[in-house]
Structure formats: C-alpha cells, structure tokens
Amino acid sequence: MAKKNPVPKYEAAYLKTYRRDLLKEKIEKAFQILENCTLCPRSCKVNRLRGEKGVCQAGLEPEVSSYSPHFSEETPLVGRHGSGTIFFAHCSLRCSFCQNYSISHLGEGQAVSYKRLAGMMVELQSLGCHNINFVSPSHYVPQILKSLPPAIEAGLSVPLVYNTGGYDALGTLSLLKGVIDIYMPDFKFSQSGPAEELCHAPDYPQAAKTAIKEMHRQVGDLVFDEGGIALRGLLVRHLVLPGGLAGTEDVMRFLAQDISKETYVNIMDQYHPCGDVAWSSLLSRRITVREFQDAVGAASRAGLTRFDKRDRFRIVF
C-alpha cells in the first residue's frame, strides 16, 4: 500500500521571515516612513519621530485601547477560544459614524512599550486565542513590526490578522508581505461622495480597491485548518448602511470580478447611529431587514458564495 504524503504543518508567515533575518530591514524601512509619514493614503508627511501628529493623531509610541480574547469576530477567527484582539487607539480614516468612536476619534487608550506590546501577543496566545488580531493597525505598522522579534523569541506562533478600515497605502502593505497571515479589510464605500461626506476621504474607494488587490496578491483566498480555523488569506468586511450609502452592489461586484469569487465576505448588519451622526441624515436609523437581504442578494448575484454565517439579532424594523 502506498504511503500517504504527510500534511505539511502550518507555519505563520512572519516566522519564516524572521528566520531569514528579513524583519530588521522591514523595521528600518517602516521607521523611515515615520519621519515623513505616508503610512496611509492621507500622506500627512508629518515627522512622527519628533512627536508631530497628522490626521490620525497617533504619535511615535503605540497606543492600545484594550486587548483580550474576542468572541464577536468572524467565525473562522473565533473558533472555541476566541480571536486575540489588540485594539489600537486613533484611526486615519475617522468615519463620522464609527462604531468605536471613543477609540478612533477620542484616542481612548494608553501608550505601551514595544516589549509590552509583544507581551500582549504572547499572553493572548497563552490564553488559547487562535490568532493575534490587530484592530485599526494602519498607523502603527512600524511599531507592530518592531514588537514582533521579542514576541517571536518568547514563543509567538499563531497567525497575525490585519484588521483594517481598508484605507491602506501600497507602500505600507509591501512591508507586511511575509508578515501578515490574514488580511481583514473593510470595504466601506464604493462611491467617492459618501466617502468624502462621512470620512473626508474622497479617494477611499480607489485606495481600498488597490489595497485589497495587494492583500489578495500576498495571501490569496482564505484557507482553514481541519477544525475550520482560518490560517491564511483574505477576509473582507462590508457594513451595510441605511439608504444604500455604502454602495453594496458595486462592492460585491468588485470583489467577485476583480479579486476572486472565492473571497470570504462578512456582510454586517450591526450599523447603529453614533459618533457625529446628525439625526436629520440617512444614518440616523438602523438598517432594515429588507436592506440587509438586498445586500446579501447583491453578493449572491455577483457570484460570491463564501459568507460568514453568524446568527444575526440586531436588525430592527
């Protein structure tokens, strides 16, 4: 009887990069960007090494709002023991309706050392978390990279998740090749008008498309272990907004036609008015069941079939 070939053991991408001694160069290049910051498409060009701050309001030190096992993330990330989320303070996109307004706009959090950030990762892994999930990491990429070597030396080995608003610069993403295992961007808007009105970022749709293409090029479609836990790949989130403001149909068509029909998508229904939302605007209400059903239908018509299948209880009529 012929022997079956053994299934190769999974290894996080950053471990290979570390062994090849490539992290040092990535860290150096990332900190050079901070001197004239273009980490995100805002391209504020402030010198964060000297404490100057741009739109995101982040300084040199990483600032963390919270870290813990999280059980409200996507099914392939949560598993039985949760996703090890590290919520960073501040944000470069700063949506007026942000569901985490106190963190993204008000900067709720505290500065931590690189050693402490590394310790958070290892601690979450020790609690059984299936991955380390960096939430709103775009403006702290250099700091994350610098914290990885001590985390690796302390035994970090689970996948890294880059959980972003989708407003990411190509140059920054290139530094993350061979580091990030799972990219989880939002695709918030397909049209410039709502992006300008709600985020002051009319370039968001094109920036997100460019970023998502690069993310998929690096990691491909989402793949799982035998227990259904995500190991590597792209997972895209899309928050359905009232009145069709998110341009859901165009978003789903782009994912199916320009990325892959195997793209794993989480169509989210949890929008609720908060932040700086004016009560006279379309955003002053939750979405309806019909609006959510239309969004799912748009994804299906585009040819997408891989959806996150969590129970939904939040929609109100």
* Structural domain count of the chain: 1
Domain presence at residue 31 = yes
Domain presence at residue 122 = yes
pLDDT at 276: 79
pLDDT at 1: 40
CATH number of the domain to which 140 belongs: 3.20.20.70
pLDDT at 166: 98
pLDDT at 277: 81
Provide the token pair at 206.
Answer: 């094109």
Domain presence at residue 5 = no
pLDDT at 310: 62
Instruction: Answer for the pair 43, 32: CB distance below 8 angstroms, yes or no.
Output: no
pLDDT at 155: 98
Instruction: Answer for the pair 82, 133: CB distance below 8 angstroms, yes or no.
Output: no
Domain presence at residue 317 = no
Q: 81-140, pLDDT tens digit by residue?
A: 999 999 999 999 999 999 888 999 888 999 999 999 999 999 999 999 999 999 999 999
The whole-chain average pLDDT of the chain stands at 93
Q: 165-177, pLDDT tens digit by residue?
A: 999 999 999 999 9
Average pLDDT, integer, range 22-36:
98
Q: Supply the pTM of this predicted model.
A: 0.94
Q: Is the pLDDT of residue 315 over 90?
A: no
Name the band, by pLDDT with cuts 50, 70 and 90, for residue 264: very high
Q: 218-248, pLDDT tens digit by residue?
A: 999 999 999 999 999 999 999 999 999 999 9
Alpha helices in the chain (DSSP H): 13-19, 23-34, 75-78, 101-104, 114-126, 141-153, 170-175, 192-199, 204-219, 248-254, 289-302
pLDDT at 5: 41
Domain that holds residue 58: 13-307
Domain presence at residue 193 = yes
Domain presence at residue 8 = no
Domain presence at residue 227 = yes
Q: 286-313, pLDDT tens digit by residue?
A: 999 999 999 999 999 999 999 998 644 4
Map residue 65 onto helix, strand or coil: strand
